[in-house]
Amino acid sequence: MFVFTAIIVTHGREELLSKCLDSLRPGFPDWQLILLGNGEVLSTELRAKARLLTDHVVFLEAEGKLAPGKARNRALREASGDWIFFIDDDALVLPGYWEIVLPLLKEEKIDVLGGPDEAVEGMNALATALAMSLSSPFCTGRTCGRHKPLGTKLRPADDQILTSCNLWVRRSAIGTVLFPEDYLRGEETRFLQQLAAEQRRLFYHPRLRVGHHRRTRLLQLLRPTFYAGYYRSRMMKEGAGRGNGAFWLPPVFVLLHLIVLIDGPLFLYLARMYVSIILFASIAAGTKAKRSGLIPLVAFLHYFIVFIYGLGFFFERALPRRRSDPPAKSV
């Protein structure tokens, strides 16, 4: 039995994965590492680097690329640690992380633990602006807590402020709960919702931070942002988080664009109000980060993310209920 098992599912990001592995140094040998090549063969160099970290390494390779939840469930079956540490292949543990997390793992009241991610130095302008936008409540609502510290101390949490790139779960608390295997985005959110429904205790520590490399091209944002809205709508159809009306704001925002066909002056008035709000938020973010040159890009990403997310949500909402969908119920 090990103190923890770190699970990393990887596909096509060998350079970033190498940096992730370099950061996994808890200071003791009693831990397990599981690397799953999702539709790819793990290189000899990566295997050698992993073996230098711990003697307890499991290499898995899926012939075809699996859905994220299915890949994580596959890795979970091989885990032996008291705790499971999920970290993305494009994330890395920051200095001081292990000194904070290891004592928390000994607290019996904690079943699930996580913290925020943050921008990594050296990213290009788009990736840096994206990190700034995601940390803004005007862009991501309450889930901005996934991307910037909320408060200063350990606090109870829920699925909205915990992220799969920096997530600890007590193995004994998982029970029969699995990641949904037919989700292409948001599978960790559904997983956390199910754990909460099983009365597991979720916590968040703002100083438990990982660095996270962001996408470097705008087109790379389209699919994950669309799917984020799409699968959030599906979760709500399935009864998870139905009472949170904030997730309706992006699809309503999309529909408001139709006002231009009915009342042009009203549309311009609302557009000016919205532009003023996101410019204010972007100026504040750019000034705080001392990156004033990124303010226009941050403002654009506020609009882009909310609009594409809303399209995904609206698209799924417009679809007829699948026969396999369970009846809606509160979670």
Per-residue pLDDT tens, the chain, 331 aa: give them. Answer: 689 999 999 999 999 999 999 999 999 989 999 999 999 999 999 999 999 999 999 999 998 999 999 999 999 999 999 999 999 999 999 999 999 999 999 999 999 999 999 999 999 999 999 999 999 999 999 999 999 999 999 999 999 999 999 999 999 999 999 999 999 999 999 999 999 999 999 999 999 999 999 999 999 999 999 999 999 999 998 877 655 788 999 999 999 999 999 999 999 999 999 999 999 999 999 999 999 999 999 999 999 999 999 999 999 998 876 554 444 333 2
| Helical residues (DSSP H) of the chain, grouped into ranges | 14-22, 44-53, 68-76, 97-104, 125-134, 137-140, 171-174, 187-197, 219-237, 249-256, 264-288, 295-318
| 19 contacts 10 by C-beta, under 8 angstroms | no
pLDDT at 58: 97
Q: C-alpha distances in angstroms, 212 versus 60, 87, 94, 149, 226? A: 24, 10, 10, 14, 20
Token look-up 């001081």 returns: 96
| 197 contacts 176 by C-beta, under 8 angstroms | no
Both structure tokens of 174: 């998982």
pLDDT at 321: 62
| 183 contacts 138 by C-beta, under 8 angstroms | no
Phi (first) and psi of residue 230, to 5 degrees: -60, -50
Question: Residue 87's closest CA among 202, 207, 24, 167?
Answer: 167
> Up-side HSE of residue 313: CA atoms within 13 Å toward CB?
23
pLDDT at 303: 97
Both structure tokens of 212: 């996270």
Q: Report helix, strand or coil for 32.
A: strand
- Rounded Cα distance between 189 and 238, Å, is 13
pLDDT at 245: 83
pLDDT at 322: 57
| 270 contacts 256 by C-beta, under 8 angstroms | yes
Q: Look at strands 202-204 and 112-114 and give their pairing.
A: parallel
pLDDT at 175: 93
Contacts of 226 (CB under 8 A, 6+ apart): 308, 309, 311, 312, 315
| 228 contacts 185 by C-beta, under 8 angstroms | yes
- How far is C-alpha 270 from the chain's CA centre? 31
pLDDT at 320: 73
Token look-up 């959110």 returns: 189
**CATH code given to domain 2-218:** 3.90.550.10
- Rounded Cα distance between 216 and 104, Å, is 34
Q: Look at strands 31-38 and 57-62 and give their pairing.
A: parallel
| Domain boundary assignment for the chain | 2-218, 221-318
